[in-house]
Each structure stands twice: as structure tokens, then as C-alpha cells.
A and B are shown apart, each in its own frame.
Chain A
Amino acid sequence: MTPGRLRNLDALVRWSVFAAAVGLFLVLILLPLVSLNSYAVREGLGIFWSRLREPGALGALRLTAVVALATTVVNGLIGTAMAFVLTRYRFPGRRAINALVDIPLAIPTVVTGFALLLLYGPLGPFGEFLGERNIQLMFSFPGLLLGHVFVTFPFMVRAVGAVLESAPRSGEDAARTLGAKEWQVFLLVTIPSIKEGLVAGSFLTFSRSLGEFGASIMVSGNLVGRTQTAPLYIFSRFNTGDVEGASAIAILLALASFLILLLLQFVQAGRGMKEGRA
């Protein structure tokens, strides 16, 4: 084979890889999103609005936002604490715990929900104890929150942990020698230094919580207007044959996720530019 033909073959291979990658992306990722739009508005925007105004719909969206926000706050606190423990403390079993943090990513979320049900449900050991005191965790907001916190737990730990790992600690020492008390060091130096990790972790946690389905359906009981989140609402609507109703919420949910992604990109690009100028 001559060098020229070799080069042609090379170009052909490169072109086919490019075409395959882009083509598959279009078919696998973009096409479903487009179909979502066409379904929702096929009957006209009027139907879209009326579906949105149905009593369960807006409630489901609001609940989803509230749960996602609460999950982000809770994991912002315990996840950050955990990240500190894993990066700054040395104790026996640290590596084991470090490995276990990622378990929620590996376990199917339905299994997670099921496990929580077994533990806190009416028949579980905790559930019985709580039930005698008239506290019901499952099929209520706290249960939903518990499931979401479990499922999204690794995101905050990893995002904050990565920043803590790489950030030099001399800034904290500098503050100490300048007369700062430990709480001032934490508030004025440590927290600002892990801000990037907190932001990234929050975005990940929030968006993951928005779409959470498996654990939610197990622990929530899917009670319309009380524990039905948007993904559960979509599923219920579809099951009862109300494709337009499902589509209306689905579009909003997809749009919200898309906006969050965009916001995250924007925040990160802004930071990159700032560092670039330094």
C-alpha cells in the first residue's frame, strides 16, 4: 500500500469514528428529548397548561424542589463533616469507611428504598419503636428525605473531599499566627477555601435528588399531593394513560435539570477564567 492510500484509510477511520460518535449521541440522547417536546405540545399549549394546573402536578413539582433543597442542606452539613473526617483525621478503619462512602452509588436505589422500609417501616425494628411513640417516618416527608440523603450522600463528600485534599493548609496556620481563634480560622479561611467543592457538591446533590425515583417510590407510598414527587407523578400519569399530563411535568423537570447543568458550567467557567488571569 502506498503512503497516500494509507493516509486516505486513516482519514476514513477518523471520519467514521466522528460520524458514529455524533450520530449515536443524536439518536440516543437528543432524539428522546425532542420527542418529549413534541408529545407535550401536540395537542396545543392549552392542554399543556391545563395539565400543569391539575392539583397533583404543581404539588409534585413543589415537593420535588423542597426535598432536593432539604437534601442538599442536610448533605451539605453531614457530607462536609464526613469529608473533613476522611481527609484530616487518621484513625483505624479510615480506608474502609472511605470505600463505603460510595456504596449508595453502587446499590440499586430501589434496594435502598426497600432497605429503609424494612428498617423504619411499620414492621421494622426502628419503625415499631417509633410507631409506639406516634412517629411515622415512612410514607411521609422525613422518609422521602431519608431516602434522598442516602442516595446522594457520596456527592458532597467527594466534591468537598477533593478540594480539601488538594488545598494547602498553610492559610489556616497563617490565620492562627495572626491571632485567629479556631472558629475564626474555620469561618474566615477554611470555609472560603472549600467553597468550590460546596458549590459543585450542591449542584450534583440537587440535580440527582430532582430525578430520584427508585428509593422514592418505595419509601413515599406515592401519596398524591403529600409524598408524590415529580418523577413519581410522571410515572403514575403515564400508567393511567395520561401521556400529555406526564409529558407536561417531564418537560419542566428536564428543563430544570438542563438549567442546573448550564448554571454549573457557567459557575465553573467563571472560576476558570479568574484563575487564568492570575
Chain B
Amino acid sequence: MTTHLSAERIRKSFGEKTVLDGVSISVESGELMALLGPSGCGKSTLLRVVAGLLPHDAGSVRIEGKDMENTPARERGVGFVFQDYALFPRMTVVENISFGLRIRGMEAGERNRKAGAMIDLVGLSEEADRPVDRLSGGQRQRVALARALAVEPKLLLLDEPLSALDVKVRERLRREIRTIQKKVGITAVIVTHDQEEAMELGDRIAVMNEGRIEQVAPPRDIYQEPATEFVARFVGDVNVLPGRMYRGYAYSGSLAIRMAGDRPPTEGSWVKVILRPEDISVHPPGIPEAGQSPAKVESVSFQGTHLRATLATDEGYSLTALLLRSHAMAGKLAGGDEVRVEALRGSVLPDPFGKPEPEYYL
């Protein structure tokens, strides 16, 4: 694998507001990188800077090792798919897709052959000669994808391509984008605020917050070993508890957390314990074993495949736990019940200002 796209220390401000605060990212050849973050975190701005659609204040963009400083968008070889499709109205599907080829002066026969292949790729053969104004949202975005790929770009950038579509269409198109990207073998970056989308599409995910990249890692690592509390909270549901390291375990009160990572923080240091709700195991009341903690159920809500229980440990920590519907206690668990909880796995973050709460425990 070689680095295909690299952006280094990109800075960009709009007036007083700093949108990109020294962002660095690199994408490997053939990789699909998902740029995930809340709205306003700068992810779309970064994408536009890479495409050359927006000038940046400082830093450098390299595509295939070549510095893009003085290369305008039209010469960067970058395909761009927009959230609002950005199709050319009053043109047919075929005309839209062959726009880039026409601009390049490709002769008609070659152009039609090429556009036809693209139309087949995105499955719009039936609609080839229809004006794009008459297509559904999902079809329009397919046209946009085909149009971007038709000119054989070196890099494909997708700016929230699915967020204007309804759920069903979104999920299907998501899978198709993934398939097409792998089939064409193009390096791609997709911007999204939807963590599910990022997980399913990205070979790796870069989580952005307030103009900075918080973590770049494969989806599994992002979820299981978030590098910052922001990542932990933004991706999925999470319990964040104060804790302290002791003999390779992190302890939040009597609750012991076995570490998923291989480099545990130093003995005795304060940490933030990151626990996913599905990693908390609920047992019937009884004498707690080592590492378990007695707790009381505060509320239970039924969510179809699982139950969501809010618990409070006897030491005062609040926890959310998920129980599968098949769980032995799922049928009868109710608010006020006494239970024991156990943490099956978790991860920790160093907490320089750490001080376990509640105070009375130490």
C-alpha cells in the first residue's frame, strides 16, 4: 500500500472562525476513508480543500505525491459527489454523465461508449435518455456518481452523498457505493455525520471534531478503543466512569474492567473508563464475585431486539446496559430490582484531572 492522498497541517478560517485547525490525514491507494464528525466540525471544508474548490490558509495537499498548491480543481483529477447531487438540470442522464468527457473533447463514439459503461455500472440503463429532473433522489445520486467516475479520476470525494435520501434508499445505495468503489479500485474519501454509514463504508474512519482529527483507525478499533472521550461518545452509546489502575485492571468502585488494549496506563493513575452498554453483563442478585458490583435497576425500556436498562451501582455510578431479548432476566427485569453487574470488556483513557466520584469511595 502506498500513500495516495496526504493532507498536512491544513488550516482554514472563515473570518474569525477557525474551521480547520492544522488537520493532517493520509489515505492509502484503493482505500475508502470515512471522514466522520458532527456538523460544523470542518469535514466538508477539508474535502473541498482537497478538491481545490476552496483555498486553504496553510498546509499542503498531495495527490499521488504531487503537491497541489498551484493546481486548480479542474486539473486535480478528483471526482466529487455532492450532497445536493449538483446535476445539470435540463440535461438527460447520458448528457450529464458525458459532460466531463465532452469538455475534454472526446469524440462522440468513444464518449457514448464510455458513458454507456458508466450507466451500466450504476444500473441506470433504462433511464439513460431521461432528463435528470424526472429521476428520484437515489437515481440522481447514481448519475452524480457515474458522472464523477466517467472522467477516470485519481481520487473520489463524496460529500454527505446519502444524507438527502430516505432510509431505505440510503442503505441500499451505501452498499452499492462500497461495491462500485472496490470494483473500480479507486481511492475514496466519504464525508458523513452518520456513524453507521462510516462503519459500513470505511476501511478506516477519521473522526473529526472542531477542526481537528481525533482518531484515525479501522471501524472496530474506533468503537472498541476510542482514542478520546469525544470519539467514545460520538460513535455509539457509552458509559464513561472515573477509575483508577490497579494490577492491570481499571477499577470504578468495586467494578473491575479488563483492558481491551495492550498498553495499560501506569499503576495507580487516574483514568476514564469507557464501557459500551452491551459489554455490561447483568446477573441476578447475590454475593458479588471479585470485580462485580451490586446495583439497582432504575428504569428499563424495551427496544425490540434488546432491553435498555439504566442502573446505579451501590457506589453511586450510573450505568446503561443492553440486554438481549434472549437474556435470562430480560422477561422480568423492572425498575427497583437488585442485581449484580459485571464489565465484560472496556477501554481506558488517561485522565490527567482524574478524581473518582463520588468522593466517599476513597
List the interface of chain A (C-beta within 8 A of B): 168, 170-171, 173-181, 184, 188-189, 192-193, 274-275, 277-278
Contacts and interface: CB of A to CB of B under 8 A. Distances in A.
Nearest to B75: A179
A173 to B, nearest CB: 5
B134 A177 contact: no
B100 to A, nearest CB: 4
Interface stretch (B60-68, B81-89, B191-199, B280-288): B81-89
Given A171-B87, A173-B86, A179 B74 contact: yes
Nearest to B132: A278
B271 to A, nearest CB: 45
Nearest to A178: B100
B256 to A, nearest CB: 53
Interface of B: 48, 51-53, 72-76, 78-80, 82-84, 86-90, 99-100, 103-104, 133-134, 144, 147-148, 151, 153
A3 B73 CA distance: 71
Contact of A168 (B84, B99, B153): B84
Nearest to B51: A177
A107 B76 CA distance: 52
Q: Is the interface of A mostly helix, strand, loop or mixed?
A: helix
Nearest to B134: A278
Contact of B82 (A170, A277, A278): A170
A173 B73 contact: yes
Max chain B C-beta neighbours (<10 A), residue from A176, A179, A188, A193: A179
A90 to B, nearest CB: 10
Given A168-B84, A274-B133, A278-B134, A177 B148 contact: yes
B82 A174 contact: yes
A174 B157 CA distance: 11
B86 A179 contact: no
A173 B99 CA distance: 13
B133 A275 contact: yes
A1 B253 CA distance: 76
A176 B86 contact: no
B74 A170 contact: no
Nearest to B159: A170
Nearest to A189: B88
11 contacts: A171-B87, A171-B88, A174-B82, A175-B99, A176-B74, A177-B78, A178-B147, A179-B151, A180-B74, A192-B90, A277-B134
A177 B79 CA distance: 6
Contacts of B73: 173, 176-177
Nearest to B83: A170
B100 A173 contact: no
A173 B74 contact: no
A92 to B, nearest CB: 14
Nearest to A175: B99
A171 B86 contact: yes
A173 B53 contact: yes
A124 B103 CA distance: 52
Contacts of A178: 74, 99-100, 103, 147-148, 151
A181 B147 CA distance: 17
Contacts of A173: 48, 51, 53, 73, 80, 82, 86
A174 B53 CA distance: 9
Max chain B C-beta neighbours (<10 A), residue from A174, A175, A193, A274: A174
B133 A278 contact: yes
Contacts of A278: 133-134
A188 B96 CA distance: 12
A169 B89 CA distance: 13
A174 to B, nearest CB: 4
A170 B82 CA distance: 7
A274 B80 CA distance: 28
Nearest to A185: B74
A177 B80 contact: yes
A170 B87 CA distance: 9
A168 B87 CA distance: 11
Nearest to A184: B103
Contacts of A170: 82-84, 86
A181 B104 CA distance: 10
A71 to B, nearest CB: 28
B59 to A, nearest CB: 20
Nearest to A274: B133
A2 to B, nearest CB: 52
A179 to B, nearest CB: 5
Given A168-B84, A180-B103, 11 more contacts: A171-B89, A174-B82, A174-B86, A176-B53, A178-B151, A184-B103, A188-B88, A192-B88, A193-B89, A275-B133, A277-B134
Nearest to B80: A177
Contacts of B99: 175, 178, 188
Contacts of A192: 88-90
Nearest to B73: A176
